[in-house]
Amino acid sequence: MPTFNSEEVARLAALARIDLTPDELTQFAGELEVIAHAVEKVSELATADVPATSHPIPLTNVYREDVVSDVVDRDAVLAAAPASQDGKFLVPQILGEEA
Amino acid sequence: MTSPSRTAVALVDFDEAVRRYDPVLGIEVHVELGTNTKMFDGAPVTFGAEPNTQVTPVSLGLPGALPAVNRKAVESAIKIGLALNCEIAPLCRFARKNYFYPDVPKNFQTSQYDEPIAFDGWLDVELSDGEVVRVEIERAHMEEDAGKNTHVGGHDGRLQGAEYSLVDYNRAGIPLVEIVTRPIPGTGERAPEVAAAYVRTLRDIFRALDVSEARMERGNVRADVNLSLRASADSPLGTRTETKNVNSFRSVERAVRYEVSRQAAVLDAGGLVVQETRHFHESDASTSPGRVKSDAEDYRYFPEPDLVPIAPSREWVEEIRATLPELPAARRRRLDGEWGFAEAEMRDVVNAGALDLIEATVLAGSSPATARKWWMGELARVANAAEVAFEDLAITPAQVAQLQALVDSGRLNDKLARQALEGVLAGEGDPESVAAARGLEIVSDDGPLLEAIDAALAAQPDIAEKIRGGNLGPIGAVIGAVMKATRGQADAGRVRELVLERVQG
């Protein structure tokens, strides 16, 4: 039976770039526990004859043809970004990254 | 950028290292497909466009934007899988590879994880001396390229440490196929050569399949080179390093050499090779450790809920298989048979990159032997002297064939043909018009030849005497003089006949 402690929640939060307070870590550990139990309940019903699925609708091979569509207006999207320069999005440097 | 840790690296001489350790390679190659549009949206993919002008809400990862799979990209991936002797999955899925980096606007890359479209293949790689190494292919899967970061400031002090990056998403979403080998053992001292030859063989296949322009200098084909050392072929695999984004054949070779030398030094000193990604530096052919990402391996892959599975029908796969073009290795074998070159000659042609040009010259009417003679002789000399590739010479295979036709019809001799070639390369036009403009034509009219012969014999009276006495040696001197007088435009064979008639008759 899965259990969540606050260290695991802290790791998940870090991976997802979400800042959580110690109180929130404890709170979410409890809530994730409830979700895990719910999934476990469903797993009981998923017997060997039920195939795993990644999509609720049983469809395959939905394609688009290789045809050029409209592009977005650059000025409009750059205007929506926090910062831009020379037609590019400006983002903070990543720590330790080589130029 | 040189850091102290790089200058202090101990290296073992390569030959010494491969005497004592057994290198094992593993190579991942990414190829950008030459589709009109991206993998999951209709943004165009023209190379060199203005930044962020080839983007849609999907390329930018805007909320609510939904991807749709490019059928042509799937077809290209199947082509590549079949050309690499892979199985094509009857059903496979896309997956999200989650990580945060500015060149990935969605905060995940859409890739394939445990269900690649192609798997369990192999590729025979021929080395420069004809030895063939079979490389086992673990998988080939579909994914999308990332955008491009330009890092600005800091190092040069312009912005006093206020470092930042500029991001262009034109490349984000371009379809990629990633091809992953199984560990390649047993290459020994030839590991660097095998690695480079493998990437080159793939490049040639991509071009033959017409799935990508496969231009290394544009980053259409990029290699990650894994290398480990072990004590002997019976030992378990050692710890490997992965040198990322090595983007030329020469760099692939040098990166392998460097890692063999470096890892041997680590092991000699009783140390352990650290499993890590490394960067390759063109300037001194070294590698250095990449950024340490504590969460690097925790990509939390899960099936992409916005896309349904890909299930290529067996009919479609067989249809694609039936239309696969002749692959480079088969074509080489066929041409070798048709042309009848010696094994070493054929290898030289392939290694020089002259196969296509010779084939085109033969198709334009030359015999294989003469086509080879031009490209591997005079034209190779010119290209080497100018340090350019054959393709950059200002001459077409059709022009070479025309030049040879002038020789075959007796209108030019070898020397005149070389002069005509010079004119063609200088941009003076076709061989035919260069010959006309420069007045290059064998003098076949006996009149001027006899005149020149008489002048030569008169200048050295003893020569006629010697020839009459049965000593044919001096005849060369007469032919030489006639050649000089006619500026090389005489047919040497005819001159010889005329000299003999003159002296004996």
CA nearest B438: which of B410, B411, B416?
Answer: B416
Strands B22-32 and B175-181: antiparallel
Report B:164-193 residues touching A (Cβ under 8 A).
Answer: 164-169
Q: How many CB pairs under 8 A join A and B?
A: 137
The answer on B434 and B452 residing in a single domain is: no
Of A59, A68, A88, the CB nearest to B52: A88
Q: Sorting pLDDT into bands at 50, 70 and 90, what band is B505?
A: low
Better-predicted residue by pLDDT, B496 or B267: B267
pLDDT for B200 equals: 94
Distance CA A44, CA B135 (A): 44
Domain for residue A85, yes or no? no
CA nearest B12: which of B274, B232, B267, B231?
Answer: B267
The answer on B37 and B154 residing in a single domain is: yes
CB distance B169–A69 less than 8 Å? no
Distance CA A32, CA B447 (A): 106
DSSP secondary structure string for all residues of B431-451: HHHHHHHHT---B--HHHHHH
The answer on B188 and B103 residing in a single domain is: yes
pLDDT surpassing 70 at residue B247? yes
Contacts of A98 in chain B (CB under 8 A): 1, 151, 279, 291
Q: List CB contacts of B142: < 8 A, sequence separation 6 or more.
A: B39, B73, B74, B77, B94, B111, B112, B116, B117, B175, B176, B177
Domain for residue A22, yes or no? yes
The answer on B403 and B262 residing in a single domain is: no
CATH number at residue A29: 1.10.20
- pTM score: 0.80
C-alpha distances in Å from residue B502, one per residue of B422, B446, B475, B480: 36, 12, 12, 16
Better-predicted residue by pLDDT, B303 or B344: B303
Mean pLDDT of B297-315: 93
Mean pLDDT of B408-426: 89
Domain for residue B306, yes or no? no
Distance (Å) from the alpha carbon of B8 to chain A's nearest alpha carbon? 19
Contacts of A65 in chain B (CB under 8 A): 70-72
Report B:39-98 residues touching A (Cβ under 8 A).
Answer: 41-44, 50-57, 60, 68-74, 91, 93, 98
CATH number at residue B475: 1.10.10.410
C-alpha distances in Å from residue B246, one per residue of B28, B80, B218, B420: 10, 21, 12, 42
Domain for residue A89, yes or no? no
Name the helix (H) or strand (E) containing B33. Answer: none
Complex-level ipTM: 0.89
CB distance A94–B51 less than 8 Å? no
pLDDT surpassing 90 at residue B459? no
CB distance B36–A68 less than 8 Å? yes
The answer on B433 and B477 residing in a single domain is: no
Is residue B402 within 8 Å of residue B374, measured between CB atoms? no
pLDDT surpassing 70 at residue A20? yes
Domain for residue B302, yes or no? no
Is residue B68 within 8 Å of residue B304, measured between CB atoms? no
The answer on B90 and B198 residing in a single domain is: yes
Full domain range(s) for residue B370? 328-438
- Specify the number of domains making up chain B: 3
- Chain A residues at the B interface, defined by Cβ less than 8 Å, are 14-15, 17, 54-55, 57, 59-72, 74, 77-78, 85-94, 96-99
CA nearest A87: which of B235, B290, B55, B81?
Answer: B55
Distance CA B111, CA B355 (A): 37
Q: Among B406, B438, B470, where does a domain finish? A: B438
Contacts of A10 in chain B (CB under 8 A): none
Identify the closest residue of chain A to B35 by CA–CA distance.
A66
Give the model confidence (pLDDT) of A33-79 as tens digits: 999 999 888 888 888 888 778 888 889 999 999 999 999 999 999 99
Partners of B227 in the beta sheet? Answer: B25, B241
Domain for residue A31, yes or no? yes
Q: Among B414, B438, B462, where does a domain finish? A: B438
The answer on B451 and B425 residing in a single domain is: no
Amino acid at B402: Q
Distance (Å) from the alpha carbon of A48 to chain B's nearest alpha carbon? 19
The answer on B144 and B82 residing in a single domain is: yes
The answer on B176 and B227 residing in a single domain is: yes
Distance (Å) from the alpha carbon of A22 to chain B's nearest alpha carbon? 21
- Specify the number of domains making up chain A: 1
Q: Sorting pLDDT into bands at 50, 70 and 90, what band is A95?
A: low
Domain for residue B128, yes or no? yes
Domain for residue A23, yes or no? yes
Domain for residue B15, yes or no? yes
CB distance A64–B69 less than 8 Å? yes
pLDDT surpassing 50 at residue B298? yes
The answer on B470 and B414 residing in a single domain is: no
Domain for residue B123, yes or no? yes
Of B60, B291, B311, the CB nearest to A97: B291
Give the model confidence (pLDDT) of B92-107 as tens digits: 999 999 988 899 999 9
Given CB atoms, is B305 within the 8 Å cutoff of chain A? yes
Name which of B117, B150, B166 to mutate to probe chain A: the one with the most chain A Cβ atoms within 10 A of its Cβ.
B166
The answer on B169 and B270 residing in a single domain is: yes
Full domain range(s) for residue A28? 6-45
Report B:103-162 residues touching A (Cβ under 8 A).
Answer: 150-151, 153-155
Of A61, A68, A78, the CB nearest to B42: A68
Contacts of B42 in chain A (CB under 8 A): 64, 67-70
Of B57, B69, B100, the CB nearest to A63: B69
The answer on B465 and B388 residing in a single domain is: no
CB distance A69–B41 less than 8 Å? yes
Amino acid at B305: P
pLDDT for A51 equals: 79
pLDDT for B447 equals: 78
CA nearest B41: which of B175, B178, B232, B166?
Answer: B175
Identify the closest residue of chain A to B34 by CA–CA distance.
A66
pLDDT for B293 equals: 56
Q: Sorting pLDDT into bands at 50, 70 and 90, what band is B3?
A: very low
CB distance A62–B308 less than 8 Å? yes
